[in-house]
Chains A and B, each alone.
Chain A
Amino acid sequence: DAKTTQPNSMESNEEEPVHLPCNHSTISGTDYIHWYRQLPSQGPEYVIHGLTSNVNNRMASLAIAEDRKSSTLILHRATLRDAAVYYCILTSSNTGKLIFGQGTTLQVKP
């Protein structure tokens, strides 16, 4: 299973953009890049996913490097509610299961 590397923690100020990096140097051509987050005392929540092109949705943007060996989750204006653990996960064509790493704990300061 392809692995991802994320910083353990990051801090942001409220109302400012946040860029959460993820390295996945062993990604294969058909692996999708998914981001989930887990708010305190809740189950994980889907954020966004992509294959090659950058993606935008109402929650965030996903910027994928041209060689696909890294990606960045962008929260355009962090709010206190965005404080969570963010997981970057690769999914392979032979399985639907999610393989969680330790993720990045995002703190948002008022």
Chain B
Amino acid sequence: EAGVTQFPSHSVIEKGQTVTLRCDPISGHDNLYWYRRVMGKEIKFLLHFVKESKQDESGMPNNRFLAERTGGTYSTLKVQPAELEDSGVYFCASSQVSGWTDTQYFGPGTRLTVL
């Protein structure tokens, strides 16, 4: 069974540019989560999709971040325009069912560097 995949693995952009990160969850997993770790900080939750619907987007830092999950399969996270403080590692995770007992499977992350 393929795990959670993320693309690209690394992205280096300049301040003000746009970047789109992609996450492909494990097949059949309705739940998809985005997290990120910025330099020196803890891993923070960004948002949670159940199929194509946003269940919880309380962790999204501001309106420069836009997450989509068309068709309930893969998800994209767009940052526009990128700022220096957006640098960090963005993780995606998926789980089969929604709830606090289910295991989340994480991808390897996308390392974003904003210059």
Contacts and interface: CB of A to CB of B under 8 A. Distances in A.
Interface string B6-35: 000000000000000000000000010101
Interface residues of B, number: 27
A99 B58 CA distance: 12
B75 to A, nearest CB: 15
Interface stretch (A17-25, A58-66, A70-78, A90-98): A90-98
Nearest to A92: B100
A40 to B, nearest CB: 12
Contacts of A68: none
- Interface range, A side: 20 to 34
A97 B42 contact: no
B104 interface: yes
Interface of B: 4, 31, 33, 35, 42-45, 48, 55-56, 59, 91, 93, 95, 98-109
